[in-house]
């Protein structure tokens, strides 16, 4: 049987004992290692092992799988990998891994797909900041808004309700604060490189945000993104009104846009990669072929198929095989 899954491990440093330990962990998780590669660029190192895993297995009983609703989990053909069959090995690797090293198990069908679709969250993923907090600072409400944002990202508050409450504190701010905040926003390290690598390989890239179009628009245009959307701040008479226009981009909307845009590109859901950090991203992470938690809240890391706990967003390209 040819390799049907690739184990991709990444960390700031990967020593020879680390590699030997990873081989043992893969074997213990039921994977047969077929071929290995190592790479790195001075920032972090990557070990990839093409593996063979017996197919047709289901997740262990009472495993609490959180990925059963993902794109590659339901009614898959006999003999193919499913989210359920990968759940057990993923949990085993996460439970017995190496400090500072994360391992993603990625179906070979996704890594070898001729076209892939990458969709990312924006605040604290594509960019380093939470824009609503930068805006709130101009209203003298940053600490208050930060506390609400963090609770929402942990899944403790309804996102739409929390967004309306946070935006309300912006009422009366002059509209030029948008330009000031835009100048404060910085891309996450590796973000531009990740987008460029996907685009150069002919893949589609999108971002979907619970933040604001006024901030996202120039970023998306500069990166040449295929698709992007966020909430629209209402501005009247040269000032923010404290409201957003139209429906809120929440967790359900993020999944909806993932499905719509992937379909528009003719890319099956099992060939999609979603990246995010908060509870607002959980639906799209679960729906994608592989969902990646980027420096995420604990509940999101536990639910995602893979986690990147490095400050470099382009680690995702190694997971996707781009």
Which of 123, 250, 281, 305 is the catalytic position?
A: 123
Whether 15 contacts 95, CB under 8 Å: no
Closest CA to 52 of 3, 106, 111, 6: 3
- Three-class SS string for 5-71? EEEEEEECCCCHHHHHHHHHHHHHCCEEEEEEEEEECCCCEEEEEEEEECCCCCCCCCCCCCCCCCC
Q: For residue 34, indicate whether it is catalytic.
A: no
Annotated active-site residue in 18, 50, 102, 121: 121
- DSSP single-letter state for residue 131: H
Helix (H, G, I), strand (E, B) or coil at 173: coil
* Residue ranges with strand state E in the chain: 5-11, 31-40, 45-53, 101-107, 117-120, 204-212, 227-236, 239-245, 272-276, 290-294, 306-308
49, 44, 297, 27: CA torsion to nearest 10: 20
When computed from its CA atoms, the radius of gyration of the chain, rounded to whole angstroms, is 20
Residue 307 near residue 102, CB atoms below 8 Å: yes
To which residue do tokens 């929402």 refer?
A: 152
* Token pair 């590109």 in the structure block, residue: 265
Residue count (the chain): 322
- The two tokens of residue 223 are 């990166």
Task: Spell out the long-range contacts of 159-163 with Cβ–Cβ below 8 A and sequence spacing 24 or more.
Answer: 159/210, 159/248, 159/250, 159/251, 159/279, 159/280, 160/248, 160/250, 163/132, 163/210, 163/231, 163/244, 163/248, 163/250
- For residues 280 and 298, what is the distance between their CA atoms, to the nearest angstrom? 13
41 catalytic per annotation: no
Q: Is 318 helix (H, G, I), strand (E, B) or coil?
A: helix
List residues with catalytic annotation.
121, 123
């Amino acid at each position: 049987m040819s390799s049907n899954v690739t184990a991709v491990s990444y960390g700031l440093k990967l020593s020879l004992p680390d590699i030997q330990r990873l081989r043992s962990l893969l074997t213990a998780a039921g994977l047969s290692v077929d071929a290995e590669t190592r790479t790195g660029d001075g920032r972090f190192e990557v070990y990839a092992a093409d593996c063979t895993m017996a197919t047709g297995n289901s997740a262990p009983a009472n495993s609490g799988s959180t990925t059963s609703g993902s794109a590659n989990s339901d009614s898959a053909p006999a003999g193919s990998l499913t989210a359920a069959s990968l759940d057990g090995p993923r949990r085993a690797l996460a439970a017995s891994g190496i400090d500072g090293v994360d391992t993603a198990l990625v179906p070979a069908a996704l890594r070898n797909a001729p076209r892939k679709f990458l969709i990312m969250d924006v605040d604290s993923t594509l960019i380093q900041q939470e824009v609503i907090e930068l805006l709130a600072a101009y209203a003298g409400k940053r600490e208050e808004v930060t506390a609400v944002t963090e609770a929402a990202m942990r899944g403790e508050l309804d996102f739409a309700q929390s967004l309306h409450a946070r935006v309300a504190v912006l009422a009366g701010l002059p509209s030029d604060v948008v330009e000031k905040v835009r100048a404060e926003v910085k891309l996450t390290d590796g973000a531009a490189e990740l987008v460029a690598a996907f685009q150069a390989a002919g893949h589609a890239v999108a971002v979907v945000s619970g933040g604001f179009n006024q901030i996202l628009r120039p970023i998306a245009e500069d990166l040449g993104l295929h698709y992007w959307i966020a909430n629209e701040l209402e501005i009247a008479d040269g000032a923010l009104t404290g409201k957003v226009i139209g429906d809120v981009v929440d967790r359900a909307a993020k999944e909806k846009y993932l499905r719509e845009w992937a379909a528009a590109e003719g890319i099956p859901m099992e060939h999609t990669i979603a990246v995010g950090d908060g509870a607002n991203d959980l639906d799209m992470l679960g729906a994608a072929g592989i969902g990646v938690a980027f420096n995420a809240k604990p509940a999101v890391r536990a639910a995602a198929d893979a986690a990147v706990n490095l400050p470099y967003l382009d680690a995702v390209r190694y997971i996707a095989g781009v």
